[in-house]
Structure 1
């Protein structure tokens, strides 16, 4: 199979925990997709050509539509491929709140355990890159000191998962895997890849460990590979399918055609400038141009991102 403008092109790298979350969704939905591997650290010129400055992984590309952040990526996958649904237990809204907890509170507890334990991925280049990304020191010594305390926090949150599984259910919301499972399990995968001490915490909860194996057994769908140049060529030849649409409930009066800047509200706050195409309570899409890819429309979630007129 050769990739085209309808193909899912997934800009990722294999040890990216947030990429793992989406890969589980690919598996749940049985999707075919193309992995476009990007560098772990900057520079990432091919990615930035698509996004306009957003540098975090993963990013999904379908033709000339570029989706930044797992929240908007998974929403778009559910819109395009609604069966089987990621909402398996009435969690259409609550699942996103669960994901915000997993992406921030649960994830940060895992990060402290991983990097406080001296993982070899934290070399000097990685540390300098993450300091630029976060805008603050990436202090391994402080993480090492905090690791025992954060182990308590990580264990407490594993306990919540264990309580959810206590009735014998196979997955967090019932008999079928969905958004909640993908949103929680990638943190365990990240710990297993990098932290023997964290693995011991996971194994202390047999129900959680068994659930983790069931999620892993789902797989990642049908993966193929694509080069960065080929992905960019597809974007340049394609036209975005996003139609201009005003949101009557838009709280700050944004309308299609406005010049805006979008940025994350936590870290990696690189400003991405463009022309507003559409917005809603859950997304914002902006059009921008790059010499390498031409006109593209870049999509972001609203929760966790800031949008201001420029």
Structure 2
């Protein structure tokens, strides 16, 4: 069962990044729409509690975090590369900055009253209130920039990005798009949906032209939709790929462990350690609905502990 199945929802910025990765690779994928907020019973059956959007399913293997999804897609379809050799290190570092500092500046800027009103236009009256409560719980205890501070920081970030394009290059790191472009794009894409707050992008003509080029990459080939129950049944009918715990990592295969994001949505996933390197961690889980699944995480920005 090797179909790529993306679990996502349309307005998720990180899901937009994943969709563009699939588009850049020219890959076909199947779509499962997940809820924006808890409860997410079908998600939990597959991930064991990881609640961020999106995640990628390949049979009984579940890949969490767009940083890891990028590596999975690169291995599956090496060309065109998300990590061109000449700029691979720069691309990864810029992508990490975009997924953290830029995203966590753009989000509070976008969720100011005027932006939130635009984002939730036409939604049921209580939807915004429920969404804010859900996201507040996700980010509890996490230092965040707010309101005008977010606007001031974002103004500087947009200036920096515009300076990268000032020499006329089509993409942030040269002549070809890469993971840096897709990672920087998704927080700015979210801002374009915020009505009057999107005017912060208006002075940046070169940056807006670059955004149009990124959007034109598209989302690849949508090969059909599944619902959550169908995706779970597909996992149950599959066998996860073998994994290996490398020596010298401080853990042993077969140990009960937890994996927890250390910045936000800090829901621990518990399982048996079956794969570990300096780049990834894999836990095996037995679920009453999904059967045996392997849930994969990146090592960066995740905490691995003995249970």
SS at match of 2:152: helix
SS at match of 1:284: strand
SS at match of 1:91: helix
How far, CA to CA, are the matches of 2:264 and 2:300 in structure 1?
Answer: 14
Question: What is residue 212 of structure 2 aligned with on the other side?
Answer: 213
SS at match of 1:193: coil
Question: What is residue 265 of structure 1 aligned with on the other side?
Answer: 262
SS at match of 1:41: coil
Say which is worse superposed, 214-223 or 99-108, in terms of deviation. Answer: 99-108
How far, CA to CA, are the matches of 2:142 and 2:78 in structure 1?
Answer: 42
Query: Aligned ranges for residues 63-78 of structure 1 at < 5 Å?
Result: 63-78=59-74
Q: How many residues align?
A: 297
Deviations 1:201-238 (A, max 9, x none): 21211110000000001101011322111111110000
How far, CA to CA, are the matches of 1:24 and 1:184 in structure 2?
Answer: 12
Question: What is residue 290 of structure 1 aligned with on the other side?
Answer: 287
Deviations 1:181-216 (A, max 9, x none): 10100011101122422x212121111000000000
SS at match of 1:123: helix
Question: What is residue 45 of structure 1 aligned with on the other side?
Answer: 41
Question: What is residue 153 of structure 2 aligned with on the other side?
Answer: 153
Deviation at 1:44, TM superposition (A): 0.4
Q: Extract unaligned runs of 5+ from structure 1.
A: none
Q: Extract unaligned runs of 5+ from structure 2.
A: 121-126
How far, CA to CA, are the matches of 2:50 and 2:281 in structure 1?
Answer: 14
Question: What is residue 230 of structure 2 aligned with on the other side?
Answer: 230
Q: Calculate the aligned-residue CA RMSD, in Å.
A: 1.8
| Structure 1 length-normalised TM | 0.91
Deviation at 1:89, TM superposition (A): 5.9
Query: Aligned ranges for residues 235-246 of structure 1 at < 5 Å?
Result: 235-243=235-243, 245-246=244-245
Deviation at 1:165, TM superposition (A): 1.0
